[in-house]
Amino acid sequence: MTKENSTPEANATSGEKPVKSSGIKTPTIINLVLLAGLVVLYVLYFTGTERVDEPVGEQQEEIIAEKVSDATAAIAYVNSERLMDDYQLAVKMREELEEEQHRLERELTRRQRAFQTDLEEFQRGISAGTLPMDQAQMKEQELMQMQQELYQLSDTYRDRLNRKEMEMNRELMDEITGYLEQYNQRAGYDFILGFARGGGILFAKEKHDITDEVLTGLNEAYEASR
């Protein structure tokens, strides 16, 4: 049954409930770095004194392969899963987003229950024959409007959560890449990669793992900014 064909009167006859549970979902819940595949958090490619800071594309992948094969690249990696689990800013953002999601779900559920109560009262009046025709028609139109508003509200809340998540993701990536740029001024890596299970890196030696250092620095910077 589609939204357009679903009416309180039709549902009253069929016994179907016109509005399901809220089910507002947000797809990733601050999961910026854990993408399907390899994520390069920060890339530094030095050619003499010229430096190019760019996201990875086909050209960067070729550069990585060339420098690795020549054993000229200084490479480190950060465990993306640990970064998302233990970076205090990411934890805070995740908690805030989940709290907002639960708040909107509660509000939508409250409105759905109010609608369901009105609908059941309308059904009882129709079944008992105590509701005059003109009042029944008016009530039916009112319920149809309430039902449509619930559908629209659910979409609005979902969009609001998605926008909030995108904003948080941008802020999170800005903080991570900003810190890595400062960190790399003394570390001097050509590439700092994001490593996650199921990603593009199948194996990496532990000696290249700088997750602890990066997490410590990120959390210290976060605490200092509070």
Could you tell me which of 165, 166, 160, 167 has the C-alpha nearest to residue 24?
A: 160
Contact 41, 77 (CB under 8 A): no
Contact 185, 42 (CB under 8 A): no
Q: Tens digit of pLDDT per residue, the chain (226 long)?
A: 444 445 554 454 444 444 444 444 443 333 433 332 223 344 333 322 334 444 445 555 565 556 555 556 788 999 988 998 999 999 999 999 999 999 999 999 999 999 999 999 999 998 888 888 899 899 999 999 999 999 999 999 999 999 999 999 899 999 999 999 999 999 999 888 888 887 777 788 899 999 999 999 999 999 998 8
Instruction: Determine whether 51 is exposed, middle or buried from the number of CB atoms within 10 Å of its CB (0-12, 13-18, 19+).
Output: exposed
Q: Would the pTM count as exceeding 0.85?
A: no
Q: Tell me the domain boundaries of the chain.
A: 8-29+96-165, 39-88+175-225
